[in-house]
Amino acid sequence: MLKVYNTLGKEKQEFVPLQPKKIGMYVCGPTVYGPSHIGHARTYIAFDIIRRYLEFSGFEVKYVVNLTDIHDDMIKRAKEQGITIFELADKNIALFFKDLDALGIKKADVYPRVTEHIKEIVEFVSDLEKKGLAYETDDGVYFDISKFKDYGKLSGIKIKEQKTGTRVETDKYEKDKAQDFALWKKPKAEDEPSWDSHWGKGRPGWHIECSVMNSKHLGEQLDIHGGAVDLIFPHHENEIAQSEARSVKKPFVKYWLHSGFLNVEGQKMSKSLGNFIEIPDLLKKHDARAFRFFVAGLHYKSRIDFSEKTMEKVDRTLEKWDLFIERLLDFKGGTENPDVKKLVDSTREEVVTAMNDDFMLPNAWAALQKMQTAVNKQIDSGEFGEGNAKQVLDLLKELDQFLKVFKFEKETQEISKELQDLIKQREKFRAEKNWSESDRIRDELAKQGILIDDTPSGTKWKKA
Decide if pLDDT at 165 tops 60: no
User: Can you give the pTM of this predicted structure?
Assistant: 0.89
Contact indicator for 72, 168 with CB cutoff of 8 Å: no
pLDDT single digits (tens) 284-343: 999 999 999 999 999 999 999 999 999 999 999 999 999 999 999 999 999 999 999 999
pLDDT tens column, 79-123: 999 999 999 999 999 999 999 999 999 999 999 999 999 999 999
- The number of angstroms, rounded, from the C-alpha of 312 to the middle of its chain's C-alpha atoms is 21
Residue extents of the structural domains in the chain: 3-273, 309-403, 417-463
Q: In sequence order, what are the residues at sequence separation of 6 or more whose Cβ sits closer than 8 angstroms to the Cβ of residue 34? A: 77, 92, 278
Reported as a single tens digit per residue, the pLDDT across 222-274 is 999 999 999 999 999 999 999 999 998 999 999 999 999 999 999 999 877 88
Mean pLDDT throughout 279-285? Answer: 93
CA-to-CA distance for 197 and 207, rounded, in angstroms?
A: 18
The single-letter code of the amino acid at 242 is Q
Q: Which CA distances in Å does 85 have to 34, 66, 157, 225? A: 11, 17, 34, 27
Rg (CA), the chain: 27
- The stretch 443-460 carries a mean pLDDT of 78
Q: Is residue 162 scored above 50 in pLDDT?
A: no
pLDDT of res. 169: 66
pLDDT given at position 163: 42
- Domain 309-403 in the same topology as domain 3-273: no
Please state, as a whole number, how many other Cβ atoms lie within 10 Å of the Cβ of residue 148. Answer: 18
Angle between helices 339-355 and 386-403 in degrees, nearest 10:
10
- The third-level CATH classification (topology) of the domain covering 3-273 is Rossmann fold (3.40.50)
From the candidate CATH numbers 1.20.120, 1.20.81, 1.10.3470, 2.60.40, the one assigned to the domain spanning 309-403: 1.20.120
| DSSP for residue 146 | G
Q: CA distances (Å), 88 to each of 10, 35, 78, 91, 187, in order?
A: 39, 10, 6, 5, 19
Q: What is the structure's pLDDT at 417?
A: 82
Mean per-residue pLDDT, 391-416? 90
Which residues have CB under 8 Å from 49's CB, separation 6+?
Answer: 295, 296, 300, 359, 361, 402, 403, 404
pLDDT above 60: residue 280: yes
pLDDT digits (tens, 9 = 90+) for 408-421: 987 666 788 888 88
pLDDT-above-90 percentage for the chain: 81
Residue 243: predicted pLDDT: 98
